[in-house]
Amino acid sequence: AAAAVKAAHPRVTVEVSGGLNLEVLPHFLGSEVDVISMGCLTHGATSLDFALRV
């Protein structure tokens, strides 16, 4: 699908996301996909509570 979009609209940025993980990442390398968004990179991160006084 990404190749068809790029063929019709070469200047469009194609992003894939949803259900992606490090195991399926190689399937998108070298494809017409420009951006890969993976929630698994941030799901395990701990939160940080901080304040900024100006």
Q: Which of 29, 31, 37 is nearest to 4 (CA)?
A: 31
Separation of alpha carbons 34 and 8, rounded Å: 15
pLDDT for 9 beyond 90 = yes
pLDDT at 29: 82
Give the rounded percent of residues in the chain with a pLDDT score beyond 70.
100
Domain boundaries, the chain: 2-41
28 vs 36: CA distance, rounded Å: 8
Q: Note the pLDDT of residue 8.
A: 95
Reported as a pLDDT band with limits 50, 70 and 90, residue 18 is confident
In the predicted model, what is the mean pLDDT of the chain? 87
pLDDT digits (tens, 9 = 90+) for 22-45: 888 888 887 789 998 888 778 878
- Identify the sign of the CA torsion 21, 23, 25, 31: negative
